[in-house]
Homo-oligomer: A and B are copies of this chain.
Amino acid sequence: MYSIQQLQNIIIEAIDARKYPDEPAELYEPMQYMMNLGGKRLRPALLLMGCDAFGGDIYQAINPAIAIEVFHNFTLMHDDIMDNAPLRRGKTTVHEKWNSSVGILSGDAMLVEGYKLMMQVNENVLRPVLEIFNDTAIAVCEGQQIDMNFEQQPDVKINAYINMIRLKTAVVLGGALKIGALIAGARKQDADLIYAFGEDLGIAFQLQDDILDVYGDPEKFGKQVGGDIISNKKTYLLIKALETANKEQLKELNYWLQLEDFDALKKVSAVRNLFDQLEIREKSEQEMNWYAQKALQSLKDLPLDEVRKNALFEFADMLLVREN
Contact = CB atoms under 8 A, between A and B. Distances in A.
How many copies altogether?
2
A107 B141 CA distance: 10
Interface residues of A, number: 35
Given A115-B130, A134-B116, A105 B144 contact: yes
Contacts of A105: 78, 82, 141, 144-145, 148
Contact of A24 (B113, B130, B145): B145
A239 interface: no
A148 to B, nearest CB: 6
A112 interface: yes
A274 interface: no
Interface string A73-114: 000001001100000000000000000111011011101110
A81 B104 contact: yes
Interface stretch (A11-19, A119-127, A258-266): A119-127
A137 B116 CA distance: 11
A55 to B, nearest CB: 25
A323 interface: no
Interface in A133-172: 134, 137-138, 141-142, 144-146, 148-149
Interface string A39-53: 000000000000000
A280 interface: no
A108 B126 CA distance: 22
Contacts of A24: 142, 145-146, 149
Contacts of A137: 108, 112
Contacts of A123: 127
A112 B24 CA distance: 24
A26 B78 CA distance: 16
25 contacts: A24-B142, A24-B145, A24-B149, A26-B148, A27-B141, A27-B142, A27-B145, A78-B105, A100-B100, A101-B148, A105-B144, A105-B145, A105-B148, A109-B142, A111-B111, A112-B134, A112-B138, A113-B138, A115-B115, A115-B134, A119-B127, A119-B131, A119-B134, A126-B127, A130-B130
Interface of A: 24, 26-27, 78, 81-82, 100-102, 104-105, 107-109, 111-113, 115-116, 119, 123, 126-127, 130-131, 134, 137-138, 141-142, 144-146, 148-149
